[in-house]
């Protein structure tokens, strides 16, 4: 008796009896097994790709959230001690030099406006960051007079096209003032310049005899923000004369 089998893969028909029929049956089973294996492999590949894509999306979201959290925490650090000093300075200036008091208030208003606005901003043009930092520097110049000097030497190309993490320069300048003594006889000099794709913030070392309590969170926070942006870590160097922090100029 002749029997007929059809391949589910190729549609090929086999006819025969005895051993030929068994061979045809074995080929049919093998075809089904190969087809099922291919389907399972493709299915697993699709699942793995979906999981990989989902993981990447979750990592990017986590990275963005952590970066924004670090950004907001850094901004909030200015308020307790900075506002106390700023208000005391305004009070003193208005008693002794009304015009300088007015000038100080203008820079203070600009500084606070930028620090509490653009809450989702993580990076900004060097031009904007520099303007923000200059308001702070000018306030400190009014406060300390000739005991504090600063110099800025950044190429126009970097100013107009380079980027930095938002609120990155001011904490570095504040650290220099916080940890060093400054007098008219021994002023502190803060320099901000560009060099080989980095921005360098330096100051001459004049350690205070009394050191304020410091958590060191400012530099750690900034380093973490660079890490989350996938960029090089900040570089800190010091010798007997100068303290320098190098931060990467970003190209977005």
Which positions ≥6 away from 170 have C-beta within 8 Å? 78, 132, 133, 136
CA 151 to chain centre: 26
How many CB atoms lie under 10 A from the CB of residue 156?
Answer: 8
Q: Does domain 77-248 have CATH number 3.30.420?
A: no
Q: Which residues are paired to 15 by β-bridges? A: 4
* Nearest of 174, 130, 175, 164 to residue 247 by alpha carbon: 164
State the chain's mean pLDDT as an integer.
79
Least confidently predicted of 26-30, 57-61, 83-87, 236-240: 57-61
Give yes or no for residue 92 having a pLDDT over 60.
yes
For residues 48-82, one letter each, b for 16 or more C-beta atoms within 10 angstroms of the residue's C-beta and e for the rest, the string is: eeeeeeeeeeeeeeeeeeebbebbeebbebbeeeb
Helix (H, G, I), strand (E, B) or coil at 6: strand
Dihedral angle sign, alpha carbons of residues 189, 194, 200, 205: negative
Comparing 75 with 157, which gets the higher pLDDT?
157
pTM attached to this predicted model: 0.67
Tell me the per-residue pLDDT of 191-236, one tens digit each, with 9 for 90 and over. Answer: 999 999 999 999 999 988 766 555 556 788 788 888 888 778 899 9
Helix (H, G, I), strand (E, B) or coil at 1: coil
Comparing 10 with 37, which gets the higher pLDDT?
37
Residue 166: pLDDT band (50, 70, 90) is confident
pLDDT at 79: 54
Give yes or no for residue 33 having a pLDDT over 70.
yes
Beta pairing, strands 188-195 & 148-153: parallel
Give yes or no for residue 78 having a pLDDT over 50.
yes
Comparing 237 with 60, which gets the higher pLDDT?
237
Integer Cα distance of 196 and 27 in angstroms:
69
Give the start-to-end residue ranges of the domains of the chain.
3-59, 77-248
Mean pLDDT over residues 185-194, rounded?
A: 95
CA atoms within 13 A on the CB side of 108: 19
pLDDT at 146: 94
Helix (H, G, I), strand (E, B) or coil at 180: strand
């Amino acid at each position: 008796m002749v029997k007929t089998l059809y391949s589910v893969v190729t549609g090929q028909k086999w006819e025969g009896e005895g051993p030929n029929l068994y061979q045809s049956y074995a080929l049919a089973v093998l075809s089904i097994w190969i087809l099922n294996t291919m389907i399972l492999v493709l299915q697993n590949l699709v699942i793995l790709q979906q999981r990989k894509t989902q993981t990447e999306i979750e990592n990017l979201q986590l990275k963005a959230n952590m970066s924004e959290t670090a950004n907001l925490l850094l901004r909030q650090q200015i308020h307790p001690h900075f506002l106390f000093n700023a208000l005391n300075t305004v009070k003193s200036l208005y008693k002794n030099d009304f015009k300088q008091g007015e000038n100080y208030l203008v820079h203070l208003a600009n500084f606070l406006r930028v620090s509490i606005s653009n809450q989702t901003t993580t990076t900004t043009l060097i031009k904007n960051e520099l303007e923000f930092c200059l308001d702070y520097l000018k306030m400190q110049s009014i406060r300390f007079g000739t005991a504090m000097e600063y110099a800025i030497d950044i190429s126009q190309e970097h100013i107009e096209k380079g980027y930095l993490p938002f609120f990155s320069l001011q904490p570095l300048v504040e650290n220099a003032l916080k940890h060093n003594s400054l007098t008219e006889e021994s002023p502190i000099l803060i320099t901000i310049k560009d060099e080989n794709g980095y921005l360098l913030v330096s100051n001459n070392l004049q350690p205070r005899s009394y050191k304020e309590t410091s958590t060191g969170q400012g530099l750690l926070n900034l380093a973490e923000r660079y890490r989350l942006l996938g960029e090089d870590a900040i570089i800190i160097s010091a010798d007997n004369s100068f303290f320098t922090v190098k931060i990467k100029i970003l190209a977005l």
